[in-house]
Amino acid sequence: MRVRIPLLVAAVLVVLPLLVGACGGGPTAGGGGTTVVMTEFKFDPANLTVKRGQEVVITLQNKGTVVHDWNVQELGISSPKVQPGQSATIRFTPQRTGTFKIECLEPGHAEAGMVGQLTVTD
């Protein structure tokens, strides 16, 4: 027993970080989604082109100092409000082709330039 317990502890210490590492790196690194960084007062990238009928996954990263959000009102797409330093992921499947306005709906932000364009193609 004196030998087995330290071995078990050692095994757990080796295996656990591997499991945690495997889970932690998965969806964001390899998911194929797009990341949009939000600051005062812009989206980076501001313009996105996507395919009609294909699910779009966008991770919104707020690297600014005030709350921001990401919306395409014409298509009924609204992100949650993202607090400074936080991220949120939104998913949608556009059903119409065209060019649509992206905007932050916090008061004054769109007017300050926090806008972009979502282009949906066939």
Interacting residues toward Cu ion by CB under 5 A: 68, 104, 106, 109, 114
Q: Could you give the maximum distance between any two Cα atoms of the chain, in Å?
A: 70
Give the Cα-Cα-Cα angle 43, 46, 51 (nearest 5 degrees): 130
- 27 or 113: whose CB is closer to Cu ion? 113
- 114 or 118: whose CB is closer to Cu ion? 114
Q: What's the min distance (Å) between Cβ of 30 and Cu ion? A: 29
- 79 or 94: whose CB is closer to Cu ion? 79
Q: What's the min distance (Å) between Cβ of 11 and Cu ion? A: 49
For residues 17 and 56, give the distance between their C-alpha atoms in angstroms, rounded to a whole number. 32
Q: What's the min distance (Å) between Cβ of 8 and Cu ion? A: 52
Which residue's Cβ has the minimum distance to Cu ion? Answer: 104
Question: Residues 6 or more apart from 108 whose CB is under 8 A from it?
Answer: none
- 32 or 107: whose CB is closer to Cu ion? 107
Q: What's the min distance (Å) between Cβ of 99 and Cu ion? A: 21
Residue 102 and residue 70 in contact, taking contact as beta carbons nearer than 8 Å: yes
> Which amino acid type is present at position 87?
S
How many residues are recorded in the chain?
122
